[in-house]
Amino acid sequence: MKFILIIILAASALFSAAQSNTTVKRKIDDKTVVVDSSGMQYIYAVWVKLFQTGDYGLKAVNPADETSPMLLYKLTEEEKQKRDEKAPMPKESKFFTTGAEFGSFKLKNMKGKKFDSKSLKDKVVIFNFWFINCPPCKTEIPHLNKVVEEFKDKDVVFIAVALDQYNELQDFLEKTPFNYEIIDDGRSFAAYYGITSYPTHVVIDKQGKIAYHTSGLSTGTIPWLKKTITSLLETKN
């Protein structure tokens, strides 16, 4: 049950359940009745999976009745854009300070490719600290892959520091592709910054300073990640 509740909270955080469309406060959980426009009812495992894609929204069939079913509907691109634009900036993590130097580092991904602060100068660097058995970490992976695709061929490098060992990651990534540069066995690197909450995101500007950082998964995590990257790419040195 604890795992189910974590997934529900992660989904609700990433894609708000259209509470602004209701006139009564609604609780969204695994007992919520969810239907589509034809009236067909969805079981929890199905509707929450669709909801987590970011392509669907939820709103009350009868906004004045807190017991009425929730309607699962497909979002238009315009609706997705408006949702992201309205997303509040997430709370900053307690592990970093905006404007501070991130510091030097040397890392190697699972394929043996090396990354260091010196060679990545003049590039925007995105760090994601995560681990396999972290539900919100797994929930956001498909959305992070879309961010990577959006900024491909730009001066942006995406690095995911996993706490897990190489073999564990190999098995996981075969079923769940993650298009960041994957760093295995990253516990010591995460510990260096005192990170204890996951996922934790950090965006480093072209001068090596921290421009954005947050822990956990909230409504604004992904939208503000994209906003920060776009802003840094548009800013001249």
Residue 49 has a pLDDT of 78
First to last CA, the chain: 50
Residue 25 has a pLDDT of 60
If one counts every other C-beta atom within 10 angstroms of the C-beta of residue 235, the result is 11
Phi, psi of 160, deg, nearest 5: -110, 115
| pLDDT tens, residue order, the chain (237 aa) | 444 444 444 444 443 333 333 345 677 888 899 999 999 999 998 888 788 777 888 889 988 888 889 999 988 888 878 887 888 899 999 999 999 999 999 999 999 999 999 999 899 999 999 999 999 999 999 999 999 999 999 999 999 999 999 999 999 999 999 999 999 999 999 999 999 999 999 999 999 999 999 999 988 999 999 999 999 999 865
Q: Which of 16, 35, 36 is nearest to 26 (CA)?
A: 16
Q: Which of 125, 147, 109, 126 is nearest to 207 (CA)?
A: 125
Which pairing describes strands 200-204 and 210-215: parallel, antiparallel, or unpaired?
antiparallel
Residue 13 has a pLDDT of 42
Rounded to two decimals, what is the model's pTM? 0.78
For residues 115-125, b (16+ Cβ closer than 10 Å) or e, as one string? bebeebeebbb
Q: Within 13 Å of residue 17, how many CA atoms lie on the same side as its CB?
A: 23
